[in-house]
Chains A and B, each alone.
Chain A
């Protein structure tokens, strides 16, 4: 089955700096890679996703990159703000039908004002 590894497990950045979270996956059939943000006491919320026919996708301060050959993808948050503090999860699945989503172990991001 699919295995997703995520690094780092914790990340502290100064407000205004950039944050990068990296993930690797094992199943070359995976072609859909969502990222979720989980705030304290809440459920995960989809913030951005990328499919394997695209190498990069950007949405305001958030961007994801994908390297299919190396089987890794990354989340980039620029100009971080205190409200970006949360746990971020990467995940991998297959967009050709049903396949259970495999999540990474999460990165706890702290943005220091």
Chain B
């Protein structure tokens, strides 16, 4: 009964490189949510995906950021041409049905550092 698995735990990228963050939800969960947490701040919603579909991307910057949740494999959050301001902890959560009231399970996060 593995929980939400995120990898890598820590990622260092130089400015201009690409960052790929992976999230494997709880087995049987088909709803995935990505959040960003800046130091000493709360969690900011980025995107909500179901298998093969983006449902709500209202919190994700229009440029450089993209997300997918393919039929097979983990959900991927991709940040192209990273800048220092992208340094943050990125958390993924999953739920068995749509909505937090079904219970979000969070992963341990990926801490991205842009140098």
Contact = CB atoms under 8 A, between A and B. Distances in A.
Interface stretch (B13-21, B73-81, B106-114): B106-114
Nearest to A1: B58
Interface in B40-63: 41-45, 48, 55-56, 58-59
B99 A34 contact: no
A97 B99 contact: yes
Contacts of B100: 32, 34, 91, 93, 95, 99, 101
Given A34-B100, A99-B99, A100-B58, A44 B91 contact: yes
Contact of B98 (A36, A49, A97, A105): A97
A43 B42 contact: no
A95 B56 CA distance: 17
Contacts of B67: none
B58 A43 contact: no
Interface residues of B, number: 27
Nearest to A97: B99
Contacts of A100: 33, 45, 48, 56, 58-59
A41 B91 CA distance: 11
Contacts of A105: 41-42
A102 B48 contact: no
Given A43-B91, A43-B109, A103 B104 contact: no
Contact of B42 (A34, A49, A94, A104): A104
Interface of A: 6, 32, 34, 36, 41-46, 49, 51, 89, 91, 93-95, 97-106
